[in-house]
Amino acid sequence: MNTSIIKLLQSGFGTSSVIAQCSPILASQLHTSAPLCRVVSGKYRITKKRDRPLTYEMANPPHYIAHRKSWNSWNTSNLKDGLRRSETAVEDEFIRRFMNGTWHSLVCSEVIIKRQFNHIRVAAIIRHAVSPTKMYFLLGYSEELLSNWLQCPVTLELQTVDSFKDVVFKYI
C-alpha cells in the first residue's frame, strides 16, 4: 500500500463527512510524492534484533505486485476512463480503517477490497481470539454499517487462523 497516501489522508479522517469534503483535494494531489514512494513506500526496515514479523504480503516490496503478490484493491477505477477514482480510493481507505477498528487487534493481514458491479467484497484474515458468536455479531454489524455508508451491498469474506504466528512469513 502506498504510505504517502496514508500520510496525506491521516490528517483529516475523523468522520465520514470529512471524506466527502476532501475527496476532490486528494484527487489532485495524489501523485506529488511519487519519487519518494519508489524508495521507501511499502518496504519495511530491518530491526536490530531481527524480530519484526512480516506477513507474506509485507515481505514482498511493491515492485513484486503481479509477480509474487497481488493487489489489495481490485476495481476498475484506475483503468482508462475509469469512474469514481478519488471516491474509490477514499472509500477503500475508509473500509480498511473501519475493519481494523471494528475487528480490533484481530485482523492479521491486509484488508483486500474487491469491487464487482455495485458489490464490494472485503476479505481479511482474522485471529481466533474471540468466540464464533462474537465474530458473527461483528460480521453482521460491519456488513450492515458499511453498506449503509457506501450505499451498496458489502460482503465480508473472512478466513480465520489460530494465531498471528500462522500468517508470519519471516522476521526481519
Partner 1 sequence: MYSNVVVPRQWTRLACLCRSLATIEGQKVPQTSKSSDGISPPPRIPRGPTDILQALAATVGNDPTAAHYKYHDDPYLIPLSNFRKRAYALSAEAGRKAAAWIRDEHAELFTTRVWDPPTKIKTPYFNADPKIEAFAPKPIYNDESKYFKLLGGVSGVNEELKLQFLQLLCFYNEREPDSMEWLEERWFSANMRDRQAATWRLGGLADQIFESMDPKTPEAYCAMIQGMAKYYQAERAHNMAQEAISKGIPLSTSVYNALIGCIGFLKEGTALRIEALKNILGQMNDQGISPNDETLSACLRSLSAWGGGKVLQQMALQTLAEFRQLGIQPGLAAYYYLLCLFCKERGPRFDILSTIITELEKKESLDAKEPADTNFFITAMGVCSDHLQDINMAERLHAILMKGDNYKLVGDAYKESIYYRHYVTVACRHAPFEKTLELLDTLIPNIYVPEPSVMEEIIKTLEVGGAGDRLAQTWSQLVVFGHGKRVKLVERLLEAMINTYPGQEPEIQSKMRAAAADMLDFGQAASEEQETKDIRSPVQKLSASAVCNIIELCSDTKDKADPNWKSVDEALSRLRREEAAGVPARPQALAEVAQKATTVGLPGIAAAAVTYLAECGFEEAMSASVRVLGTMLNRPEKEVETLLTEQHSSLAGSLHPAAQAVAEAYNLAKTGGPVLQDTERPSSSSDSDSESSSDDE
And the C-alpha cell for 30?
495524489
Transcribe 150-167 into DSSP letters. HTS-EEEEEEEESSGGGG
Is 51 or 81 the residue whose CB approaches partner 1 more closely?
81
Given a contact cutoff of 8 angstroms between Cβ atoms, the answer to whether 115 and 122 are in contact is no
Choose among 83, 87, 97: nearest CA to 30. Answer: 87
> Residue for cell digits 453482521?
140
Determine the Cα angle at 66 with ends 4 and 19, to 5°.
35
Q: Which stretch binds partner 1 (CB under 8 A): 29-37, 68-76, 93-101, 126-134?
A: 126-134
Is 59 or 146 the residue whose CB approaches partner 1 more closely?
146
Is 96 or 127 the residue whose CB approaches partner 1 more closely?
127
Strand 53-55 with 73-74, pairing: unpaired
Q: Which stretch binds partner 1 (CB under 8 A): 2-10, 39-47, 64-72, 83-91?
A: 83-91
Q: Which stretch binds partner 1 (CB under 8 A): 4-12, 42-50, 108-116, 140-148?
A: 140-148
Contact call for residue 149 and partner 1 (CB under 8 A): yes
Interface residue list for partner 1 (CB under 8 A): 15-17, 20, 81, 83-84, 87, 128, 132-145, 148-151, 156-160
